[in-house]
């Protein structure tokens, strides 16, 4: 029976039931309903369905859906200090990164004068550290393991290069005198190495190794020591301070925000 | 405060005013979400998301029926939930105990003014209707829920789901035909008055 009703008629009956037909269409549908029992049956069936649906029990909300400020805020309001510290941390990290790159390294010849002075100071400090090690080198017992000959001069060459770099670039008398003093000390040490085969004891690394692994037959490998210049150390400290500061202010804002809830 | 004042205050960021609107419309939104999704927990999530979204988009509300505007948001949230569900295993629609037994009369239906028989009858009707609604395609289901259950006009429903008026008419007619067949299959579950009406009309 219902199969005789076209989809268009069903659509119009449905709209007629809801009062969604315009006046003329509604009048036409009313006339057809009076004449066509199939349409009337379809309309009645739809009305029953509509009544059932409208009597569907309503489910109450299982809880209140009221919002808190925390739910609607994407993030707590942060003090202006936090982004500033974040940027400062990033900037300091970039500076530090470039400071360790070879072309921009603070150890290169194209460094700024202030850095050169710092390097000279560090070279002096290094030599001062090496100097006290000369005496134990002479007094060291012969049975202790020594650094191979090939390695010791190599390390001395590094000291030379490091010490010579600053005076060449700067050309000042103070720098030259420091270099000469460094060179004379290094030469003296090299001679002692050739004479006694115990020159390894004259370097801090070797002395450390010899104390750490006494009487060892194996050749100890030198431990690469982190050597940051003062600027790099300052940058590292700044990175740490900025990052900790940012974390501290963010954390404080979060706690304050949470306590308001 | 009337609704317009609450909306105006909420637009300025007054969360208390918005929460008053939430309390007014939460049942309606929850019912809509539940009928479309068919799962209480997912409907709960959808309603919460819808209210958050409504508050954040409140400045885009340009007047008109606030109810329709909220229903549009919750419908979109339900659609999003469906898309998410496609990537997850489905959840059973019926309410079960820990032992796997279906609860005869869930707590939300426990009305002290109704007798146990009446409660059971109401629950059976609700379940029968819900099963038939769930059997509809999503597009049909949404139109039925918005127009039949929430009482939106065709125009409002068309605006809510961004479809032409003719599409709403067509989908609703087809949905009603399908629902009619489905309800006839479970007419023994329906209360006697609905069975009689259905039998006399068919």
Work out the average pLDDT over A235-239: 91
Cα–Cα distances in Å, from A173 out to A134, A178, A186, A187, B125? Answer: 27, 8, 20, 21, 103
In angstroms, how far is CA A251 from the centroid of its own chain?
18
| Nearest to A166, CA basis, from A126, A128, A110 | A110
Q: Between A and B, how many residue pairs show a Cβ–Cβ distance under 8 A? A: 122
| Ramachandran bin of A19, using left for φ above 0, alpha for ψ from -120 to 50, beta for the remaining angles | left
Cα–Cα dist A244/A64, whole Å: 40
Instruction: Give chain B positions within 8 Å (CB) of A62.
Output: 30, 40, 44, 108
Give A70 to chain B, closest Cα distance, Å: 11
Structure confidence at residue A103 (pLDDT): 62
Instruction: Give chain B positions within 8 Å (CB) of A68.
Output: 15
**For residue A41, pLDDT beyond 50:** yes
Give A85 to chain B, closest Cα distance, Å: 29
Torsion angle of the four alpha carbons B59, B64, B67, B72, in this order, in degrees rounded to the nearest 10? -70
Work out the average pLDDT over A153-161: 48
DSSP string, B61-128: --SS-HHHHHHHHHHHHHHHHHHHHTTS----SS-B-TTSPBPSS-GGG--TTS-HHHHHHHHHHHHH
Residue A72 pLDDT class (50, 70, 90 cuts) = confident
pLDDT digits (tens, 9 = 90+) for A114-139: 555 555 565 566 556 555 544 444 44
Do A117 and A167 meet the contact criterion of CB atoms below 8 Å apart? Answer: no
Do B125 and A56 meet the contact criterion of CB atoms below 8 Å apart? Answer: yes
Place of tokens 């609607």: A72
The answer to whether the predicted template modeling score (pTM) of the entire model surpasses 0.80 is no
pLDDT digits (tens, 9 = 90+) for A75-120: 667 788 888 999 999 999 998 888 887 766 555 444 455 555 555 5
Q: How far does chain B reach from its first CA to its final CA, in angstroms?
A: 49
Contacts of A174 (CB under 8 A, 6+ apart): none
Q: Is A19 on the interface with B (CB under 8 A)?
A: no
Q: Which CATH class is domain B103-191?
A: mainly alpha
Q: Is A22 on the interface with B (CB under 8 A)?
A: no
Structure confidence at residue B90 (pLDDT): 55
Do A239 and A93 meet the contact criterion of CB atoms below 8 Å apart? Answer: yes
Domain pair B1-90 / B103-191, same fold: no
> Per-domain residue ranges for chain B?
1-90, 103-191
Work out the average pLDDT over A72-76: 69
Q: Is B105 on the interface with A (CB under 8 A)?
A: no
CATH topology of domain B1-90: Rna Polymerase Sigma Factor; Chain: A (1.10.1740)
The tokens for A170 are 């700067």
Structure confidence at residue B51 (pLDDT): 95
ipTM, two decimals, is: 0.78
Structure confidence at residue A141 (pLDDT): 46
List per-residue pLDDT tens for chain B, 202 residues long.
Answer: 789 999 999 998 889 999 999 999 999 999 999 999 988 999 999 999 999 999 999 988 988 899 999 999 999 999 998 888 777 655 544 555 555 555 444 555 555 666 777 777 778 778 888 999 999 999 999 999 999 999 999 999 999 899 999 999 999 999 999 999 998 887 777 766 666 454 444 4
The answer to whether the Cβ–Cβ distance between A7 and B170 falls below 8 Å is yes
pLDDT digits (tens, 9 = 90+) for A167-213: 444 444 444 454 455 555 656 555 554 554 454 444 444 444 444 44
Work out the average pLDDT over A200-227: 54
């Amino acid at each position: 029976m219902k199969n005789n009703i076209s989809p268009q008629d069903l659509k119009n009956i449905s709209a007629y039931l809801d009062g969604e037909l315009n006046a003329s269409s509604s009048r036409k549908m009313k006339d057809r309903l009076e004449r066509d029992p199939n349409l009337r049956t379809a309309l009645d069936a739809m009305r029953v369905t509509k009544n059932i649906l409208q009597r569907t029990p309503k489910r109450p909300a299982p809880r209140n859906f009221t919002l808190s400020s925390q739910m609607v805020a994407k993030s707590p309001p942060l003090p202006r200090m936090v982004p500033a510290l974040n940027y400062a941390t990033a900037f300091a990290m970039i500076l530090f990164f470039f400071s360790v790159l070879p072309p921009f390294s603070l150890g290169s010849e194209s460094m700024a004068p202030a850095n050169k002075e710092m390097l000279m100071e560090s070279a002096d400090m290094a030599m001062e550290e090496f100097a006290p090690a000369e005496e134990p080198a002479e007094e060291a017992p012969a049975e202790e393991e020594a650094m191979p000959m090939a390695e010791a001069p190599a390390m001395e060459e590094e000291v030379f290069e490091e010490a010579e770099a600053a005076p060449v670039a700067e050309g000042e008398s103070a720098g030259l005198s420091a270099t000469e003093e460094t060179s004379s000390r290094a030469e003296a040490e090299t001679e002692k190495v050739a004479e006694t085969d115990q020159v390894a004891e004259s370097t801090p690394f070797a002395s450390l190794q010899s104390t750490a692994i006494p009487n060892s037959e194996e050749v100890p490998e030198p431990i690469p020591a982190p050597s940051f210049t003062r600027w790099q150390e300052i940058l590292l400290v700044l990175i740490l301070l900025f990052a900790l500061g940012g974390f501290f202010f963010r954390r404080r804002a979060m706690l304050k925000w949470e306590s308001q809830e | 405060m009337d609704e317009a004042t609450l909306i105006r205050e909420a637009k300025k960021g007054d969360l208390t005013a918005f929460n008053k609107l939430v309390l007014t419309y939460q049942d309606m939104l929850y019912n809509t979400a539940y009928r479309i999704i068919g799962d209480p927990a997912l409907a709960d999530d959808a309603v919460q998301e819808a209210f958050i979204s409504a508050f954040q988009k409140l400045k885009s509300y340009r007047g008109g029926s606030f109810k329709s505007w909220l229903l549009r948001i919750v419908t979109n949230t339900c659609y999003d939930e469906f898309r998410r569900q496609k990537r997850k295993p489905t959840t059973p629609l019926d309410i079960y105990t820990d032992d796997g037994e279906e609860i005869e009369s869930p707590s939300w239906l426990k009305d002290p003014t109704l007798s146990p028989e009446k409660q059971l009858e109401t629950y059976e009707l609700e379940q029968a209707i819900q099963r038939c609604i769930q059997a509809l395609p999503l597009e049909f289901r949404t139109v039925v829920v918005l127009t039949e259950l929430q009482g939106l006009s065709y125009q409002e429903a068309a605006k809510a789901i961004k479809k032409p008026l003719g599409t709403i008419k067509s989908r609703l007619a087809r949905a009603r035909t399908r629902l009619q067949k489905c309800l006839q299959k479970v007419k023994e579950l329906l209360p006697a008055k609905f069975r009689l009406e259905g039998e006399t009309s068919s």
